[in-house]
Amino acid sequence: MAIRGIKLKFFKHCIYLVIYSLFRCCQLVFWWLTGVQSHLKSCRNGENYESSAQLLKVWFHSSGRIINFSLRHHFMSTHVNFVHPNYALQKHITLMTVTDKEAIFSIQGECDDVLNVRKWPFLNVGHPTTAKHLLIMPISSMIKLGEELGDPKAKVIWIYHTARCGSTAMSQVFNSLPDVVSISEPNCLFSLDMAFKEKYFEKRKVHGLLLMNISKSIKMPSGCW
């Protein structure tokens, strides 16, 4: 039964990818005609930092994917405008995925709390489900923003490898404590770890990325940066 479910998910995702490929081709042509693509290219080259973050409206996301990481092509989205990278510092915006080329933020509705561990015990499930918009910026912009934020002033505690041993309950207990934010399975850290193992980043760049990951994914309370 489990194998059948996996096959069905894979089949649904394959259909989605075919539709997305056609949509993406049309989108790239439109972006080329309207100048969006040229601006994106300049941002990837380290230019136009103040407008290097792209805001996208999400119309649909693939729920049939098997891998955990939420990437750009898992969302059917359209361009809204370009904004400053510090747009990502708003309360209802959380870091979703980091690749070797870009950082992807999930923007939830103001009433959606993706860090509510009782409703969303795993962040990698809550992110794609609640995303109303995406904010995507080049990795160079994220590194610069992370360095501008500096080290978080709040204490950060890492709990590693507690799968299948009550980690969900433990996360909920920690989250019930005052002035504590507990999250489970933040994919932005997993994807950064994979990119580091593939040697996409130098140690200096990883430090800046970790600052941004901690500040945004762990969502420090106001005044803790």
Q: Which residues of the chain have pLDDT under 50?
A: 217-225
Burial of 95: CB neighbours in 10 Å, binned 0-12, 13-18, 19+: buried
pLDDT at 207: 52
pLDDT at 202: 55
- Pair of tokens at residue 18: 């075919």
Helix or strand run (H / E) with residue 102: strand 102-107
pLDDT at 7: 76
pLDDT at 130: 87
The domain segmentation of the chain, as residue ranges, is 2-217
CB 93 within 8 A of CB 107: yes
